[in-house]
């Protein structure tokens, strides 16, 4: 069974930085892509950044130049370095991964439970 576990959220002042981590554990044959989404109260969940196994990266326009996504050397981890944080970045941040649990399984979308990021003004 595949699990995604996030860490690194917290409370920070505007202009500060946080680094989020996400690790996939369990039966993981291959990972097609890993990324981060966020959801603020009363708003829809939105893409923050995603990185594919080939290294292709996509960022939301609102975080370009401030956030950096990267994969760990173990390939089952993904990080999100968030700099120059703004109050509007406040949200629950969710790790997402497209994983093939075994060679005979289809690619399946997995979500972590989320970690809260709060940016004070």
Q: What pLDDT is stored for residue 27 in this prediction?
A: 87
Q: What pLDDT is stored for residue 54 in this prediction?
A: 93
Q: What pLDDT is stored for residue 51 in this prediction?
A: 97
Q: What pLDDT is stored for residue 75 in this prediction?
A: 83
Q: What pLDDT is stored for residue 18 in this prediction?
A: 98
Which among 74, 72, 55, 67 has a CA at the least distance from the CA of 21? 72
Distances (CA, A) of 10 to 33, 54, 56, 107: 25, 31, 28, 32
Which residues in the chain come in under a pLDDT of 70? none
Q: What pLDDT is stored for residue 30 in this prediction?
A: 92
* CA–CA gap between residue 71 and residue 90 (Å, rounded): 23
């Amino acid at each position: 069974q595949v699990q995604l576990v996030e860490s690194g959220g917290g409370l920070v002042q505007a202009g500060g930085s946080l680094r989020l981590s996400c690790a996939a554990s369990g039966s993981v044959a291959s990972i097609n892509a890993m990324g981060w989404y966020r959801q603020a109260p009363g708003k829809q969940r939105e893409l923050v950044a995603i990185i594919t196994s080939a290294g292709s990266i996509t960022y939301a326009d609102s975080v370009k130049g401030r956030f950096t996504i990267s994969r760990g050397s173990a390939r089952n981890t993904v990080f999100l370095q968030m700099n120059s944080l703004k109050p509007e970045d406040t949200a629950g941040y969710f790790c997402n991964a497209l994983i093939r649990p075994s060679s005979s399984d289809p690619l399946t979308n997995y979500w972590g439970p989320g970690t809260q990021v709060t940016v004070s003004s």
